[in-house]
Amino acid sequence: MARFSIHSGMMLVGYSSLESGDPPMGVAFGQFEPTAGYLAIQNECRRNHVDQSGLTLSVKTEAGLVVPSMAIAILDCTEDLLPDCIEISVLGIPTTFYEALFPDHVIKYTHQFVR
């Protein structure tokens, strides 16, 4: 499974496999694994679940290519729930990129309609 790096500006803040998704919506999401850099933005991710555009979040492939998207959000519920309850969502990934980056999501989605 691919592992994507998550950045706030130029700073590496974490990783995710983006193991789940909604192909028609161009959405990929998954468990967020923070790095030491995440401490600089953690408070904002815990308190602001509406608009994190000020964090200039980006997602990169293992080859270092930026995944195009409309928005990225980190939902950190570690204060209220368990220590590993951090999820990242990447919204509005264009279809051609989505199909290339997440073929398993597309196959799984397609198979739910086959009888």
Supply the pLDDT for residue 1.
78
pTM above 0.75, yes or no: yes
pLDDT of residue 64: 96
Q: How many domains does the chain have?
A: 1
* pLDDT-wise least confident of 7-16, 40-49, 71-80: 71-80
pLDDT for res 115:
66
CA distance 75 to 109: 24
Range of the domain at 75: 4-111
- The per-residue pLDDT of the chain, averaged, comes to 93
